[in-house]
Amino acid sequence: VEFLLDEDGSFYFMEMNTRLQVEHPVTEMITGQDLVRWQLLVAFGEPLPLTQEQVTIEGHAIEVRVYAEDPDNEFLPATGKLTYLRQPEANNHVRIDTGVRENDEVSTYYDPMISKLIVWDENRPRAIQRMLRALDDYRIGGLKTNLSFLTNLVETAPFQQAEIDTGFIEKHESLLFSPATQADSRAL
């Protein structure tokens, strides 16, 4: 269930979905719970394993979506073959949810998402550093991606200081969009 809390304290209902949201790995990382398992238990008529009061939150998690898209061209989807794909090593701090492999084709018929990259650490500054390392470890060849854009975003002072709103990209355009040569240099 999604709600909005306005600055003046007004509370608004937004929507209800009977499915997990794409950001559910963030919740899983900070709670240590498997929400997909919980959903299946409920579907089979079982009770939830914990009450709300029993759910604990530890640390900070960040999720980015790695896309075959061109941020410098209004984020238009990119198509092509994943001729090279090396993802960061998954561990207790780094999670990669993906459905593609090297040599797969990204076509116009499906969502161009390559993966969701989720990191966890003890606090936000450490999670940011872990995300930057994970993005730096990501290697994709054969088509345009948003990896450089994501790195630029996570590196910005406004993002690091949690000064985030729905106008973030427009407000910080000069920080987020860099010359194409920077992406090439980073890959090399």
Phi, psi of 170 (to 5 degrees): -65, -40
- Known catalytic residues are 19
Residues 6+ apart with CB under 8 A from 10: none
Residue 86, beta-bridge partner list: 139
For 144, left (φ over 0), alpha (ψ -120 to 50), or beta?
A: beta
Q: How many Å apart are CA 87 and CA 106, to the nearest integer?
A: 17
Q: Quote the tokens at residue 79.
A: 């198509």
